[in-house]
Amino acid sequence: MCGICGIVGLTDKEAAERVIAKMNAAIAHRGPDDEGAFIEAGIALGHRRLSIIDLSKNGHQPMFSADGRFALVYNGELYNFKNLRLELQRSKVGDTNAAYSFRTQSDSEVIIAAYQRWGVDCVKYFNGMFAFAIWDKQKEELFIARDRLGIKPLYYWQNKGIIFASEIRALLKSNLVPKKLDKKGLSDYVAFQTVHGPATIIEDVKMLLPGHYLLIKKSGINIPVKQQKYWSLQDSKVQNPVKPYDQICKDVKELFFASVERRLVADVPFGAFLSGGIDSGLVVAVMSKLMREKVRTFSVTFAESEYSEAPYSEQVAKQYNTEHREIQLSPHDCFFKLPEALAAMDHPSGDGVNTYIVSEATKKAGITMALSGLGSDELFAGYPLFKRLNKLEKLKWVSGFPLVSMPFKILNMVKPSPASNKLLEMAELPNWGLEHTYSVTRETFTHKELERLLKIPMFLDRKLELNREYDILSRISVAELSNYLPDVLLRDTDQMSMAHALEVRVPFLDYTLVEYVLGLPDNVKYPVTPKKLLTDAMKGLLPENITNRKKMGFTFPWNVWMRTELKVFCEGNINSLSDREYFNKKNVQSLWNDFMDGRPDAPWYKVWHLVVLENWIKENKIDA
């Protein structure tokens, strides 16, 4: 796991050296083990290395092909690199491709060899998480690719040339990218606590979408760059043969065990996050089955018992005899760590501070790589929205009838809350199909609330295009895996864990498992009990009091902290944000006052992500 950056089109080599040095320095936290750069006329590549596989100097990057034609900078892990290596070492009868002679044991060199043999199609052979760039000296073109599910980030900016990097802050540190707030991104962020790709919060800075690549010719740098798709959740449906339920469970179990096993390959100490829920518990259970040594586990606990899952994480740790460590937090701990966590945010987010703190403790314990249960809820219908959206989809024939929204208007007047606001907005939609209702479930502010907070026009396109070949639950999963997961959860996980040079691997997001589960019919996945298919497939690995308990979530007690220890910090940022030209000062400050008064329609999360936004704007000196 590393950090990468580069420039195409800057012909002044001395200037390129200075820029790459600044960009590398901006992402030094991602790769404290080594640094490298490759600079020629019109091309510059930078790299910061976090050594995970092949810790020797042979893994230095930029890495070059055996013939010197290709130069690679790479961030990620290729889990099937050993099998690909064997294939690339062979030349088949009638095959014009010569066998590749490897000089290292790294997965990085496998990527170079694969590109040399298969060109842009190499990504179709990869199972892993990655963002990489390969420069072809002969063709004078740059190939940039990102993994299927968007686990690793890649940002770029185009003007007369192209600048790219693992983090936005590296682009900003180049002093070539204007630090201007994007109005569309701003309305998206306020509405959803994030900006959905390919846009970002910075004007003209784009995120390379999951399952996409760029091919940039040095001679054509003024030509608009187009993202090319090589894989998509929408188009990846596997036609699973009709099978008995017990066989489906067996398939899911085998795929998950194989996924975890692939992610245990590392030349550094590793462990797992253990929250006490189903997802992380199953990851730890399977790791324990596959490993000879004890699994090292880490969990966050709170003095406030109503927020703590400590009894459940302790139960799983004892069952599998893990080397367990609890990180107990108090309001003082949070206050002390908050400036560091906010400074680590490459892109503003309403979440992520928890990941920062647990990642720090994990790294301090000598762990360089950890497995996480991320992605399970999106794949196995773990959120309440799956049931709600499923019902609305089946009732969409009711939408549009006169007076259908009247009961929701009355509820909203009698009992105002975020839930009643959303219900009213949904009731007033012209169509209750999933393509229209999904976005409402993930918004922080309704459209009407947004209009009161912002002075700028709304740029929100809330209609999704979803593949109707999928059943309803799978369509919801596709929406979650395409939006909430990459643009919130995965981005937060990457920026907060890599702030401590900690690699996080996510076995529930192995694309072979994802494709299989998406291809299953709703009747085998419907969550009659929490994530029924998953828990049935893994039956016996976790005690029933964990598999059947109500989902608690992994969050800090912000509601308490923001009214006490964090009050001055929050209030100061809200007041500062309200003074900015894009915001309605009176309504922003009214929101803060409503939160402090305990109004049910002004919960902490509606305020916190605005506090974070203002802090991020000031810290990064953004023109807003």
Q: Comparing C-alpha atoms, which of 365, 301, 310, 313 is closest to residue 502?
A: 365
Catalytic residue among 2, 5, 122, 570: 2
| Mean of pLDDT values over 236-249 | 84
pLDDT at 308: 66
Packing angle of the helix pair 472-482, 385-394 (nearest 10 deg): 130
| Mean of pLDDT values over 112-123 | 95
Long-range contact set of residues 122-125: C-beta below 8 Å, sequence gap at least 24: 123/213, 123/230, 123/231, 124/230, 124/231, 125/80, 125/84
| Mean of pLDDT values over 555-578 | 89
Please enumerate in sequence order all residues whose Cβ is within 8 A of that of 331, keeping only pairs 6 or more positions apart, or say none: 557, 560, 561, 564, 565, 566
Which of 274-278, 523-527, 535-539 is least confident? 274-278
pLDDT at 133: 98
Q: How many residues does the chain have?
A: 624
In the predicted model, is pLDDT for residue 408 greater than 70?
no
Please enumerate in sequence order all residues whose Cβ is within 8 A of that of 553, keeping only pairs 6 or more positions apart, or say none: none
Domains and CATH numbers, the chain: 2-229 (3.60.20.10), 245-380+472-547 (3.40.50.620), 387-453 (no CATH), 558-619 (no CATH)
In the predicted model, is pLDDT for residue 410 greater than 70?
no
Contact 616, 608 (CB under 8 A): no
Q: Comparing C-alpha atoms, which of 81, 143, 70, 145 is closest to residue 108?
A: 81
Q: H-helix or E-strand containing 359?
A: helix 353-364
| Mean of pLDDT values over 159-172 | 94
pLDDT band of 240, cuts 50, 70, 90 = confident
pLDDT band of 418, cuts 50, 70, 90 = confident
In the predicted model, is pLDDT for residue 403 greater than 60?
no
| Mean of pLDDT values over 415-427 | 71
Question: Residue 144: beta bridge partners?
Answer: 133, 214
| Mean of pLDDT values over 12-38 | 94
Question: How many other CB atoms are there within 10 angstroms of residue 516's CB atom?
Answer: 18
Contact 335, 479 (CB under 8 A): no
pLDDT in tens, 472-518: 999 999 999 999 999 999 999 999 999 999 999 999 999 999 999 99
Question: Residue 134: beta bridge partners?
Answer: 72, 143
Query: For a pLDDT cut of 70, what percent of the chain falls above it?
Result: 90
In the predicted model, is pLDDT for residue 402 greater than 60?
no
The pTM assigned to this predicted structure is 0.93
pLDDT band of 338, cuts 50, 70, 90 = confident
pLDDT at 605: 93
pLDDT at 224: 66
| Mean of pLDDT values over 138-145 | 94
pLDDT band of 552, cuts 50, 70, 90 = low
In the predicted model, is pLDDT for residue 130 greater than 70?
yes
- Please give the C-alpha separations between residue 617 and each of 201, 204, 610, 621, in angstroms, as whole numbers: 10, 16, 11, 6
In the three-class reduction of DSSP (H, G, I as helix; E, B as strand; rest coil), residue 539 is classed as: coil
Q: Is 227 exposed, middle or buried (0-12, 13-18, 19+ CB in 10 A)?
A: middle
Question: How many other CB atoms are there within 10 angstroms of residue 600's CB atom?
Answer: 12
Q: Quote the CA–CA distance of 250 and 199 in Å, as a whole number.
A: 40
Packing angle of the helix pair 406-414, 418-427 (nearest 10 deg): 160
145/309: higher pLDDT:
145
Q: Is 225 exposed, middle or buried (0-12, 13-18, 19+ CB in 10 A)?
A: middle
249 a catalytic residue: no
Instruction: Please work out, in degrees rounded to the nearest 5, the angle formed at the alpha carbon of residue 567 by the alpha carbons of 564 and 573.
Output: 165
Query: For a pLDDT cut of 90, what percent of the chain falls above it?
Result: 64
Q: Quote the CA–CA distance of 505 and 509 in Å, as a whole number.
A: 9
Q: Strand 323-329's sheet: what is its strand order?
A: 323-329, 296-302, 270-273, 369-371, 503-505
Q: Pairing between strand 369-371 and 503-505?
A: parallel
Which of 244-258, 268-282, 361-375, 556-570 is least confident? 556-570
